[in-house]
Chain A
Amino acid sequence: MHIGHYISGAGHVALIGWLLFGQAFRSDPPPLEVTEVAVLSEAEFAALTQRAQPPESTQDIQAPVAPAVNEDAPVPPPSNPAPEPTPDPVPEPEPVPEPPAPEPVPQVQAPDVSPRPVPRPETRVAPEPVEQSDPALPTDVESRPDTTPDAEAEVVEPEQDAAAPEAAATEIVTEAEEPASAAPVTSLRPRLRPQNLQTDPTPPQTAEVQDPAPDLSDQQAEAVNAALASILSGGTTNPEPDVPVGDPLTAGEQNALRVAVEKCWVVDVGSQAANVTVTIAMQMDRDGRVVTNSLELISSEGGDGSAVDAAYRAARSAVYRCQGDGYELPIDKYEQWKAIEMTFNPEKMRLR
């Protein structure tokens, strides 16, 4: 027997003993709190409730004394139609005397609410003419003196913003659209991990002079074998110059380049150039920059000559503006991106 069994046995024995002799299962309910009540007769109850009710009549309540009519006070105009505009300034009305507070009513219990707010003395004459709200209602146009434009007076143009008021743009998309912001639409994509530091610590400058023979990959070896086979079979000695060797860029690497250029591609959606798709070609150096004078237009689709020129300039500008110190491209795959063709298709941008 282990010590643990002894401890467990002792604990169970103690628990059973406490349950049996410790009155753990006592069925006596806990004592209730007792509150004494008094029995009332119906008459006493009626008397009590009658006292809590307000008096049957309010005749005993003295109405507040109406303020004395001040003959000099301006007569409030009818709310409708609007008061006739007058060129003279409206005299400042005397403040309406505050009505006296009603006397306290005896035997009436005050309600459990805040006292009624005292009406704030208001000027009953509108300080300025109110424009007729309903054109169907009679207006005072006929009674107005004829207004003639003062030819000599200088016309004061209300100061307006360059753009139309915002209220005019709330119901349709085009007018509600805010001007395009210069802020980038998307956040910057994280820079790619410099994979080449681990795989190829050789500086890029010396990479060109390295002898590729010892580091031939399988694909390169296949290419060499294919070239040898071609020689032996009497074919041409030139390998296909347009087929780059090595692993192609991943979708993520290509997407990073695409996003980098898109940030700088300014599209004039209302122009004829927005109907033109252009494809440009460029050579890249190992720093990820466009080789000078290598960028060229190789094809276009849609639009006339001037529209194609504008579309080409926009594409060229996008590439140059966003290259900075060089696009983030994996140096170990330089053979894959040393020549790039970019197609700028504005179809999604039109009439946005």
Chain B
Amino acid sequence: MKTILAFFALCAALLVFALPASAQSGPLRIEITDGVVEPLPYAVPDFVAETPESIDMALQLARVVADDLTGTGLFREIPRDAHISTLTSFSSPIQFADWKAINAQALISGAVSVTSGQVTVKFRVYDVFAGTELGSGLQFAGPVDGWRRMAHKVADAVYSRITGESGYFDSRVVFVSETGPKDDRRKRLSVMDYDGANVQYLTDSSAIVLAPRFSPSGDRVLYTSYETGFPQIKVLSVGTVTSRSLQAGDGTMSFAPRFAPDGHTVVYSLNNGANTDIYAMDLDTGAQQRLTNTPAIETAPSFSPDGRQLVFESDRSGTQQLYVMPIGGGDAQRISFGDGRYGTPVWSPRGDLIAFTKQNNGRFHIGVMRPDGSEERLLTASFLDEGPTWAPNGRVIMFTRETQGAQGQAALYSVDVSGRNLKRVRTPDGASDPSWGPLQ
């Protein structure tokens, strides 16, 4: 009996499948809901050297652009060996059929010229399958020493035209450079390109420094210094590499500073010997304002991009959790309710997510959640992950990962907000506490 029923059910299914769809009016309508997640294939032929002095630079520029794009995990470069066409002139017409044949969806052409110590880079981006140019050609000019930064700018423009979002390649990261064993670690404030190149040291290793934070414009850095034996907040001018202390009050310890989006206000934690609460200070007038007042330990404040809300960590509920409170007044609302402890929240520049560190079952995670606490997702898992910071476009998170054991060393890692493309950022020494600066 079952066999008969199954036979009739199969016949009915086949009949439904083969029958014409419901009466159609107007054009045929199809809904596509399942795509593929894969890097977008693109091609970057060697940039055209328009002057004899720019031959090497043309090659290097194209390689940096390709490294930037491929390093995002969103793009896949088609090897130059597979190219059918060659671009001998920046203005020569594009043979789209040749690039379609190798399945290049985007094509980047460029040219470089060097005259009198000035380098000029121009480029175009093409949608190969549409046979059109994305945007219009663009040109950068600057000193020869800044060729690498110009390559980052080209990559940012290409990234923006293809994805519709701003890039993050021409940005810098301030971090703590670490050398020596764990029990005698030397720490210095350092700044580098987003990819770990061009490391420069901002302080010596005479005093322990922690938690540097870029200002919204990237011209200043807040950090915590143990120069006096107690944690004190300092602000350093990147241009002059000079720093000054913020006077938070005698007999107090201040730490975990962070700029407000306006760049004129700093929020931080202050411990007066009995309690730790969050305060705000106007950098112009030095006026302080207490933002929280509970017997709990409350620290790690971070502003929303619009400056109207603050997310921070507190143990007022008995365990370390995340809270969001309006700056204009009102109670803080707890947003983290999962297992484990949550800390170091950082609001995304987009405003749509909050990154955090989570400790649960002896493992550390970097995760993200919506500002209301929903859609929590853990992106990493290791012995020790902490201190997330957002790329200026809110697409990538950089954080500290420390390995286990006496010989364990801290290093910087980055991960896409989707959880893909986890990779290490190469630095010459150990590195921790990254803070991603703005796009320059």
Binding site for B on A (CB under 8 A): 131-132, 141, 146-149, 155, 157, 160, 162-164, 168-175, 177, 179-182, 185, 242-244, 247-252, 254, 257-258, 261-273, 281, 306-311, 313-318, 320-321, 336-337, 339-349, 351-352
Contact = CB atoms under 8 A, between A and B. Distances in A.
A346 B35 contact: yes
Given A177-B420, A345-B32, A347-B33, A281 B27 contact: yes
Contact of A270 (B36, B380, B418): B418
Interface in B163-209: 163-165, 179-181, 183-184, 186
A352 B18 CA distance: 32
Contact of B38 (A261, A266, A320): A266
B17 A310 contact: no
A309 B164 CA distance: 7
Contacts of B141: none
Interface in B149-165: 160, 162-165
A250 B19 contact: yes
Given A177-B419, A266-B36, 20 more contacts: A146-B184, A147-B181, A148-B180, A164-B422, A173-B419, A177-B420, A179-B73, A181-B38, A242-B26, A242-B27, A243-B25, A250-B19, A251-B19, A251-B21, A257-B30, A267-B37, A269-B37, A317-B130, A339-B26, A348-B33
Q: Which of B29, B32, B39, B417 has the most CB of A within 10 A?
A: B32
B420 A179 contact: yes
Given A174-B419, A180-B38, A343-B29, A164 B19 contact: no
Interface string B267-302: 000000000000000000000000000000000000
Interface string B105-145: 10000000000000000000001011000100000000000
Interface stretch (B210-218, B335-343, B423-431): B423-431
A351 B375 contact: yes
A276 to B, nearest CB: 9
Given A164-B423, A270-B417, A352 B37 contact: yes
Contacts of A311: 164
A22 B82 CA distance: 92
B278 to A, nearest CB: 31
A177 to B, nearest CB: 7
A348 B417 CA distance: 17
A168 B35 contact: no
B365 to A, nearest CB: 7
A261 B32 contact: yes
B165 A250 contact: no
8 pairs of A and B residues whose beta carbons are closest in the complex: A174-B419, A310-B164, A265-B35, A339-B27, A270-B418, A306-B164, A320-B129, A267-B35
A147 to B, nearest CB: 6
Nearest to B24: A248
Contacts of A147: 181
B36 A160 contact: no
Nearest to A305: B164
26 contacts: A160-B424, A163-B421, A164-B422, A164-B424, A175-B381, A180-B38, A242-B27, A243-B25, A247-B20, A249-B20, A250-B18, A254-B28, A261-B32, A262-B32, A262-B35, A265-B32, A265-B35, A270-B417, A281-B27, A309-B164, A313-B127, A317-B130, A340-B29, A340-B30, A342-B32, A344-B32
A180 B20 contact: no
Contacts of A317: 105, 127, 129-130
A347 B32 CA distance: 10
Given A174-B377, A310-B163, A248 B395 contact: no
A351 B418 contact: yes
B426 A157 contact: yes
B363 interface: yes
Contacts of B379: 172, 174-175
B28 A249 contact: yes
B416 interface: yes
B325 interface: no
Contacts of B3: none
B36 A180 contact: yes
Contacts of B17: 250-252
Contact of A341 (B16, B30, B186, B429): B30
Contacts of B377: 174, 351
B22 interface: yes
Nearest to A312: B164
B34 interface: yes
- Give the interface centre of B24, B30, B363 by most chain A CB atoms within 10 Å: B30
Contact of B74 (A172, A268, A340): A268
A261 B31 CA distance: 10
Contacts of B37: 180, 266-269, 349, 352
A168 B422 contact: yes
A72 B193 CA distance: 58
B33 A345 contact: yes
